[in-house]
Amino acid sequence: MSHLLSIDSLSRDDIDHLMRVAATMEPVAQRRKVTRVLEGAVLGNLFFEASTRTRVSFHTAFSRLGGSVCDTTGFTFSSMAKGESLYDTSRVMAGYCDAIVMRHPDQGSVAEFASATHVPVINAGDGPGEHPSQALLDFYTIDKEFSRQGKTLKGAHVLMTGDLKYGRTVHSLIKLLALYAPMRVTLVAPPGLEMPNHLIERVSRQGLDVEVRESLAGDFSDVDVVYTTRIQKERFTAEMSEGFNLSRDFTVHRAFMDSRCNPSTIIMHPLPRDSRPEANDLDVDLNGDPRLAIFRQTDNGIPVRMAIFATLLKVEHLIERDLRDVPWFVPGSVGVDDAKF
């Protein structure tokens, strides 16, 4: 693995390796241990599209491995605002950095950027394209949650709902899940925001059992994971924005979970969720519910992204021998509503 641009570049063996490495990173990610295997290495964190979680998560993951990070955000403060090409930017940054994380609003742009360098490049989201590290941390979360419940991935049932057209996280995740078939995936999206047909056809050929439903009405009691996504209005055309009105019928809330799902169903969301009432995103009335895994999900982004860096830079075999205890105070839990398992 020289870059991480798409789930397409990963085999099941590659993913299994990253999951094992991520597990070894847990003590560092949880602030119980320190490692300095990337001391002296520099990460270029290039975000040409808005981000909080992903940008800070990558920054934190590299820092916890002992590396340093150079951040840039937006086009305004980059040479791209002066007309610099992706090729030129790539070659320049590769001369400064040992690894590069890039987010860009145009699909395919990160792959174009990576084609100009041998320095490892990680796609942190390319418009409506893919978000491979998110899919990896989502899969890691599902595996951990299932292990806690005594479940296995084989035959699992995942409900994906929300914006399945522009939501790059679900594009990457459904590709990844297809590598672990047999599994069931049910897709529910508002009109006009359905999962692209070419993806449904592809994963079906790979063995995923895919069902498309028109609404969240009906029985979902056999669903193991509800994965809901924010409506990506920033990617709408002017015509779509003008006529779009999201019904609350597509909202995942406590009443839906209590009446249509089962007590062990876990709830995931790639965040950010739009908590404004009119947005009809994942409802805040689920805050504090132990089924809500969204913050465990974001926490899992650190060990997974540490594993990605360690694997790309070929230091994963050095981690366990480099660990030492942290000397500072670390709280027993991070959030006041964190579930106690």
Of the candidate CATH numbers 3.30.565.10, 3.40.50.1370, 1.10.3720.10, 3.30.1330.10, the domain formed by 7-130+301-325 belongs to: 3.40.50.1370
Residue 341's CB is within 10 A of a number of other CB atoms, namely 8
On whether the CB atoms of residues 249 and 216 are closer than 8 A, the answer is: yes
What is the full per-residue pLDDT of the chain (341 aa) written as tens digits?
899 999 999 999 999 999 999 999 999 999 999 999 999 999 999 998 878 889 999 999 999 999 999 988 765 545 555 567 899 999 999 999 999 999 998 999 999 999 999 999 999 998 888 899 999 999 999 999 999 999 999 999 999 999 999 888 999 999 999 999 999 999 999 888 999 999 999 999 999 999 999 999 989 999 999 999 988 655 555 555 555 566 677 889 999 999 999 999 999 999 988 888 777 789 999 999 999 999 999 999 999 999 999 999 999 999 988 899 999 999 988 888 888 87
Whole-number pLDDT of residue 241? 52
pTM score: 0.92
Whole-number pLDDT of residue 321? 87
Residue 191 CA from chain centroid, whole number: 24
Longest dimension (CA), the chain: 58
Architecture label for domain 132-295: 3-Layer(aba) Sandwich (3.40)
Sheet containing strand 184-188, strands side by side: 209-213, 184-188, 157-161, 225-228, 266-268
Per the rule left: phi > 0, alpha: psi between -120 and 50, beta: everything else, 77 is: alpha
* DSSP 8-class letter at 194: P
The residues of the chain that CATH labels 3.40.50.1370 are 7-130+301-325, 132-295
